[in-house]
Structure 1
Amino acid sequence: MEIRIARPSDAPELADLHVTCWAETYPGLLPAEEIARFDRDFRLRQWREQIARGGSRIVIAPGAGFAQIGPQREAALAARGYSDELHALYLTRAAQGRGLGRALLAAALGPAPGRLSALVLGGNDRACRFYEATGARLAERRPERIGTAEITDLLFLWDAAPRP
């Protein structure tokens, strides 16, 4: 399967993939109205802005998934040497279980991977197992509110470059 750096013309595909993956992954973990709030128009604006802004590495496997790694957004983690953050890694359900997640992670890491962090929605057990299999450890549980939902974000840290 082709994996490549996302181009501006990929924003519609990224939006479609993002909406599909949320619809497949988060029912039961997030309220339906929260999933629906992040519709295709929202995601299209998001991806157009992300690609135009630059500063992160966005890779796409057309029709299957995408990943984005960028600079660490939390100063405390950056100060501890976690210079990069996995902002997103999504695969459609049909694309899961074939090694594509590892390939997307490797492509998004680029040639000189460093220490990395990621936040995962509590209850997303498949993602947690994947991150642990690539060398991450669960470092912290963080309560959060999204809309009306009380959720838990799980902070995963890779103390060395991930093992895709």
Structure 2
Amino acid sequence: MQSRVRRGSIGPLKIRQAGPDDVADLATLHVTCWAETYPGLLPAQEIARYDRDLRLRQWEQQIAKGTSRIMIAPGAGFAQIGPQREAALAARGVEEELYALYLLRTAQGAGLGRALFAAAFGPAPGPLSAMVLEGNDRACRFYEATGARLAERRPERIGDALITDLLYLWDTAPAP
């Protein structure tokens, strides 16, 4: 699947399935998006721990496994949806999970997030989950605008920091 999104000075962006040649771009996007999104929400040392080398290995493994759908808008963002990793949610019929949806700040606000999300979700409508770090208000608004509901708040410790993960659920296919 390929789609186009218009974005001001960036020009038309193509969304396509990521492959082995996209590993470096995925790693760079992932690191940059974390650096743009999580200051003040995660400890700086935690953000730094997920460096480009770690992300390169992660994306090489994810693409090689082939168990998830990874869509990329090269140089702008990516989305990844795959099998539910939480047994309790899978047992409730929530068979898929949005693992990641990241856009560079310069690529936000033009519909690219929705286009990546729709491309990764694919044609089979059904329940879906996602975890969001509390305080990532932009992501929460995005998920709610696509039909998700906040289902649960989960405290978690990362290093010395206590954070809260928010579990969002879509009971049906996300709204376009």
Q: Report the TM-score range of the alignment, normalised by the length of the smaller protein.
A: over 0.9
1:57 counterpart = 2:88: no
Alpha-carbon separation, structure 1, partners of 2:67 and 2:160: 32
Partner in structure 2 of residue 16 of structure 1: 28
Per-residue Cα deviation, 1:5-47 (whole angstroms, up to 9, x for no partner): 0001100000000000000000000010000000000000000
1:163 alignment counterpart: 175
Gaps of 5+ in 2: 1-12
Alignment-derived partner of residue 110 in structure 1: 122
User: Is residue 2:69 matched to residue 1:72?
Assistant: no
User: Share of identical aligned residues, percent?
Assistant: 79
How many pairs align? 164
Correspondence 1:1-164 to 2 at 5 A? 1-164=13-176
* Structure 1 gap ranges (5+): none
**Deviations 1:50-99 (Å, cap 9, x if unpaired)?**
00011100000001000000000011101111110000000000000000
What is the Cα deviation at residue 112 of structure 1? 1.0
Amino acid at match of 1:132: E
Aligned alpha-carbon RMSD (Å): 0.6
Q: Distance in 2 between matches of 1:146 and 1:120?
A: 14
Q: Give secondary structure in 2 for the equivalent of 1:3.
A: strand
